[in-house]
């Protein structure tokens, strides 16, 4: 029997952030989670809208944002500024003592600039190190960290970093100290067999079934990086991973997908 304390790490998708009512309800559900917890958020459509309003054309390759210097300025302003601080303020209104962080704050998440053989992603970071010492102190003192999708390289450079990966790397690093449950919350009820059918949730996926579904083309391409992150996390010590609508946080009967090895 593990004597580690439970820790819930919840990552929310852009569709929740883009809908003020949905976000407000999620933050109530999140605040009602008992015990230690961390929230990780991306940026939704706000960064794209802001970029377009100042004449920038956002570029994506395989669902990943190309982040040149002007786009980096926008994502830092929106992710680490507007979205992060609004979430922290709403959590404080819900009696959750949250603090907002980028990876640069307290050197909490250090990354390296992505070096791809054929694609220049610009100022995009791949996580290298999590400062578990400081995080453990924060969590043990009742602080709820709220991470945006910005890290740094310890050389003065901020880096745009995939929020799913940040959640996964936090979960892996902290599994040495806590019994970690990782929850990916988005607008769907879970991983779907048929994207047109909200009720076609695959309630449990292990690595064998995942390989089979991928071979059959039955997993939506946008879900594959998320599931790859999930299996990587489980193989490195994370206890449990769930994917689904945020209603699963408070309603144990809500449809969702559980990922197991």
Does residue 156 have a known ligand-binding role? no
**44 appears as a binding residue in the annotation:** yes
Collapsing DSSP to helix, strand or coil, 195 comes out as: coil
160 marked as binding residue: yes
CB 239 within 8 A of CB 261: no
Dihedral pair phi/psi, residue 255, rounded to 5°: -60, 135
Q: Is 206 annotated as a binding residue?
A: no
DSSP-derived secondary structure letter, 161:
-
Give the CA count within 13 Å in the CB-facing half-sphere of 89.
6
Q: Is the dihedral of CA 133, 124, 39, 221 positive or negative?
A: negative
**CA pair distance 221, 200, nearest whole angstrom:** 16
Positions at the binding site: 43-44, 65, 160
Positions at the binding site for substrate: 43-44, 65, 160
């Amino acid at each position: 029997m593990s004597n580690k304390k439970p820790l819930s790490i919840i990552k929310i998708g852009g569709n929740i952030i883009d809908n003020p009512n949905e976000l407000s309800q999620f933050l109530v559900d999140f605040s009602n989670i008992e015990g230690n917890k961390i929230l990780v958020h991306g940026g939704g459509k706000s960064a794209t809208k802001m970029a377009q309003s100042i004449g920038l054309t956002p570029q994506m390759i395989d669902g990943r944002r190309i982040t040149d210097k002007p786009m980096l300025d926008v994502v830092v302003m929106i992710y680490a500024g507007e979205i992060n601080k609004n979430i922290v303020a709403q959590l404080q209104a819900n009696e959750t003592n949250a603090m907002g962080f980028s990876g640069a704050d307290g050197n909490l998440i250090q990354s390296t600039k992505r070096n791809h053989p054929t694609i220049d992603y610009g100022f995009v970071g791949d996580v290298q190190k999590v400062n578990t010492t400081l995080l453990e102190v924060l969590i043990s003192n009742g602080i709820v960290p709220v991470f945006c999708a910005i890290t740094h390289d310890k050389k003065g450079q901020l880096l745009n970093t995939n929020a799913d990966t940040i959640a996964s790397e936090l979960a892996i690093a902290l599994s040495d100290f806590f019994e970690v449950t990782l929850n990916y919350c988005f607008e769907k009820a879970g991983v779907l067999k048929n994207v047109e059918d909200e009720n076609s949730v695959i309630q449990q996926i292990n690595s064998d079934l995942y390989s089979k579904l991928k071979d059959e083309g039955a997993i939506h391409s946008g879900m594959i990086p998320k599931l790859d992150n999930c299996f990587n996390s489980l193989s490195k010590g994370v206890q449990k991973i769930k994917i689904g609508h945020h209603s699963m946080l408070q309603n144990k009967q809500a449809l969702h997908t559980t990922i197991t090895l």
